[in-house]
Amino acid sequence: MGVFTVVDSKDVERAADTVSVALTVNRRGHHLDLDPRTTMLDALREHLHLTGSKKGCDHGQCGACTVLINGRRINACLTLAVMHEGDEIVTIEGLGAPGSLHLLQAAFVEHDAFQCGYCTPGQICSAVGMLDEAKAGWPSHATADVAVPATTLTDAEIRERMSGNICRCAAYPNIVAAIREVAEGGRR
């Protein structure tokens, strides 16, 4: 066995029937005809050529593919595009652009919150979703008493809530600083 796979004739893939899906991506409507196997990440990257969302592990472990769907952060690699008929997707390309950066993008630059940059789009999309979750008072594993409806975003809370985004360059201290600045509503 090893790395070689013997392909039996019954295993040969027949072309799957495509499914049509309507998505709104970064406020623009799209109609796609997709093999149902297409993940949201592959639909964004390969079909819509929005390559800001990155493929790291492709198994929901690294967070590089994080996008916002109907305002919530999710792993785009672990969901099928056809399951998102009518949904609103925001990727890093929809958050800001050179010259008009999103607050978090500007804070990441200001705080040198990356080295290679591969995880950064996922980190920023995740942070956008995370700040909304905290604003809504959601508890986390770092919350002392889950029954208390308010949340103070301490460094421990930011680290815990961002644990689904791995940075292999280990820019974590600066990522936390960038997010803290935006959470506090400006520079300190």
Partner 1 sequence: MRSFTYERATDPRAAMAAVSRTGAKFISGGTNLLDLMKLEIEQPTHLVDISRLPLRAVDELPDGRLHIGAQATNSDVAADGRVRTRYPVLSQALVAGASGQLRNKASVGGNLLQRTRCAYFYDTAASCNKRVPGSGCSAIDGINRFHAILGASDACIATHPSDMAVAMVALDAEIELLGADHATRRVAIRDFHRLPGDTPHVETVLRPGEMITGVILPPPPPGRQVYRKVRDRASYAFALVSVAAIVATERGVVTTARVAFGGVAHKPWRSVEAEAALLGRPATMATYRAAAGAAMAHAVGRGHNDFKIDLAKRTLCRTLTHAALVS
Residue with tokens 């019954």: 10
What are the Cα distances from residue 120, in Å, to 20, 72, 73, 105? 31, 18, 14, 9
CA–CA gap between residue 15 and residue 51 (Å, rounded): 26
Token reading at 165:
């985004």
Binding to partner 1 in span 10-69, by CB under 8 A: 13-17, 19, 35-37, 39, 58-60, 63, 66
Q: How far is the CB of 82 from partner 1 (least distance, A)?
A: 5
117 binds partner 1, rule: CB under 8 A: no
Q: Is 101 in the site for partner 1 (CB under 8 A)?
A: no
* Among the residue ranges 44-52, 108-116, 136-144, 174-182, the one whose residues contact partner 1 (CB under 8 A): 136-144
Neighbours of 171 (CB within 10 A): 22
Give the DSSP H or E segment for 30: strand 28-34
What is the rounded distance in angstroms from the CA atom of residue 185 to the CA atom of residue 90? 22
Q: Which is nearer to partner 1, 15 or 99 (CB)?
A: 15
User: Please, are residues 34 and 21 in contact by the beta-carbon 8 Å criterion?
Assistant: yes
Query: Is 147 a residue that touches partner 1 (CB under 8 A)?
Result: yes
Q: Is 91 in the site for partner 1 (CB under 8 A)?
A: no
Q: Give whichever of 20 and 97 is closer to partner 1, judged by the CB atom.
A: 20
Query: Among 30, 96, 139, 172, which residue sits at the site for partner 1 (rule: CB under 8 A)?
Result: 139
Compute the residue count for the chain.
188
CB of 159 to partner 1, least distance (A): 7
74 counts as binding partner 1 under rule CB under 8 A: yes
Does 154 help bind partner 1 (rule: CB under 8 A)?
A: no
